[in-house]
Chain A
Amino acid sequence: MAKYLLLKHYRGAPAAVNNVSMDHWTPEEVTAHIQYMNDFADRLRENGEFVGENALAPEGMWVRYDGEGRPPVTDGPFAETKDLIAGYMIIDVDTPERAIELAGELSAAPGKDSKPIHEWLEVRPLYGEPSLVSE
């Protein structure tokens, strides 16, 4: 049992196979895509493998500490930022193989011409609890 983060990128992932941006699909294709994503999440809920998901707006900014008594410095957004995360889902599964299988399914979401996007998803294990038996 372990939790994994499935990360979807706006930018920064290697190019998908069916790599046409969403605004060049038909409205029906957009609807079909969203339906696929919702069905996928529902299936995980029914499986007892769903932990959480969120979509992230592309607009954001960078913030850093600027010294005692000063307000934080903000900057951006930077159009050239290489890595831009679009959203994430967290799953709780029995094996790493199951995490890969599910990421594969998610990547098969339909895009242009109703064909799977084959987009690259990043799969990252979450840290768990330390186990009591270790030596």
Chain B
Amino acid sequence: MTVPLDEALLRGLVPGVLGVLVRRGADFAAAEDAVQEALVEAVRTWPADPPRDPRGWLVTVAWRRFLDATRSEAARRRREDVVDVEPEPGPVPDTDDSLHLYFLCAHPSLSPSSAVALTLRAVGGLTTRQIAEAYLVPEATMAQRISRAKRTVADQRLDQPGDVGTVLRTLYLVFNQGYSGDVDLVAEAIRLTRQLTEAIDHPEVAGLLALMLLHAARRAARTAPDGSLVPLAEQDRSRWDTAAIAEGVQILQTALSRDRLGEYQAQAAIAALHADARTAEETDWVQIVEWYDELVRLTGSPVVRLNRAVAVGEADGPHAGLAALAELDPSLPRYAAVAAHLQERAGDLATAARLYADAATRATDTAERDHLTRQAARLNTALGS
């Protein structure tokens, strides 16, 4: 009899197993390779022969692989001073290992793309091929990116406290990459962030998890069957995932009650207000503007100010939105799209049509481009031009 493999469960064991190997004296890069090999072995053998203690099985196999690799390396170098004794196995707390692993894989010395790749492999337990497919690059390129990243952090120890901020940014990048290849990076980002909430008690980690759940809850409604983008106001809200929304809201409320506000909690609060509205008309835009004010205060980000202008346009009317927009740099991404939307609501259809067409040329993905092109076409058709 074969038992279907629970891949998420298997990969959830990765940080702990890696931590054990490192604590036994393996260097991070070699330990990580050994864990990958053990994972491949698990995927091959577990369905027919599931172990009683999956974590113990992985530790044993990974440690053996590490020793084999070390021995052959040593033989190659004709050296004999190899770690050869199997240390005492035993129960060890691994939440700290897990946390330190997140810190290491998102170390500030790594570029964002390297941190993403290393996190997905060493913390997430994905294979290089899966990561390469998700990011649409050749497997050899992704392999190089990962081994360079490992070399970059080779001198860092795994028991160091690190920067939660860079970890969160890395997980946010994974989440926002969306979906390509056979790995759902949205689900993977949620899994890794959830796992992080178990390793560290931090309101911003909870805030990011809430943010992810609330946005992922709307994912099915974001795309029409033909692949085109459905804007928030036009989404079929009955297709939103109410369980994910409820969980996101609950996590967010707990985080907010700690009174240590940060940008992810504020973003999640905005997403929660959207999720809370049964129809687009019921959206509490006044409160959303207040949260954007908080976000501007926290980040000073021009992109946040741009989104704030959209909210102001909904709360106080398109002219107020255009006034908020006028204070911003027109070269901002999506500036023309926001201006087009506000101009249309203000009744200047010809200007809106021109701005939609302009915005389409500045889109960074085809779904957005096609959506904006259709908006321009809709207005031009109505105007008979």
Query: A46 and B144: CB pair below 8 A?
Result: yes
Give residues 103-137 of B contacting A (CB, 8 Å): 111-114, 116-117, 135-137
Bound Cα distance A93, B141 (Å): 12
Give residues 48-82 of A contacting B (CB, 8 Å): 48-52
Query: A133 and B135: CB pair below 8 A?
Result: no
Give residues 332-385 of B contacting A (CB, 8 Å): 363-369
Cβ-defined partner of A132 (8 Å) among B143, B219, B267, B307: B219
* Residue numbers in A under 8 Å from B142 (CB-CB): 48
Give residues 75-95 of A contacting B (CB, 8 Å): 92-94
Q: Distance in Å from the Cβ of B363 to the closest Cβ of chain A? A: 7
Contact A92:B364 (CB < 8 A) given known A45-B144, A130-B229: no
* Residue numbers in A under 8 Å from B173 (CB-CB): 1
Query: B137 and A92: CB pair below 8 A?
Result: yes
Residue B43 is within 8 A (CB to CB) of chain A in the complex: no
Residue B274 is within 8 A (CB to CB) of chain A in the complex: yes
Query: A132 and B137: CB pair below 8 A?
Result: no
Cβ-defined partner of B141 (8 Å) among A1, A50, A131, A133: A50
Binds B, one of A10-18, A24-32, A104-112, A121-129: A121-129
Cβ-defined partner of A135 (8 Å) among B117, B310, B364: B310
Give residues 256-292 of B contacting A (CB, 8 Å): 267, 270, 274
* Residue numbers in A under 8 Å from B137 (CB-CB): 48, 50-51, 92
Q: Distance in Å from the Cβ of A70 to the closest Cβ of chain B? A: 30
Query: A127 and B148: CB pair below 8 A?
Result: no
Q: Distance in Å from the Cβ of A74 to the closest Cβ of chain B? A: 29
Interface of B is mostly: helix
What string of 1s and 0s marks CB contacts (under 8 Å) between B176-208 and chain A? 111110000010000000000000000000000
Bound Cα distance A92, B113 (Å): 9
Bound Cα distance A125, B366 (Å): 12
Contact A133:B176 (CB < 8 A) given known A45-B140, A47-B144: yes
Bound Cα distance A129, B211 (Å): 19
Bound Cα distance A129, B215 (Å): 16
Q: Distance in Å from the Cβ of A134 to the closest Cβ of chain B? A: 8
Contact A130:B141 (CB < 8 A) given known A1-B113, A135-B310: no
Bound Cα distance A45, B145 (Å): 9
Q: Distance in Å from the Cβ of A124 to the closest Cβ of chain B? A: 12
Query: A94 and B364: CB pair below 8 A?
Result: no
Bound Cα distance A125, B136 (Å): 15
Name the CB-closest residue of A to B117: A48
Query: B307 and A129: CB pair below 8 A?
Result: no
* Among B141, B186, B215, residue most surrounded by chain A Cβ atoms (within 10 Å): B141
Identify the B interface with A (CB < 8 A): 111-114, 116-117, 135-138, 140-146, 148, 173, 175-180, 186, 211, 215-216, 219, 222, 229, 232, 267, 270, 274, 307, 310, 363-369
Given contacts A47-B145, A130-B229, A135-B270, 13 further A-B contacts (CB under 8 A): A1-B116, A1-B173, A2-B364, A3-B136, A47-B144, A48-B144, A49-B141, A92-B137, A127-B369, A129-B365, A131-B176, A132-B176, A133-B175
Nearest 8 Cβ contacts at the A-B interface: A48-B145, A48-B144, A129-B178, A130-B365, A131-B176, A1-B113, A130-B367, A127-B366
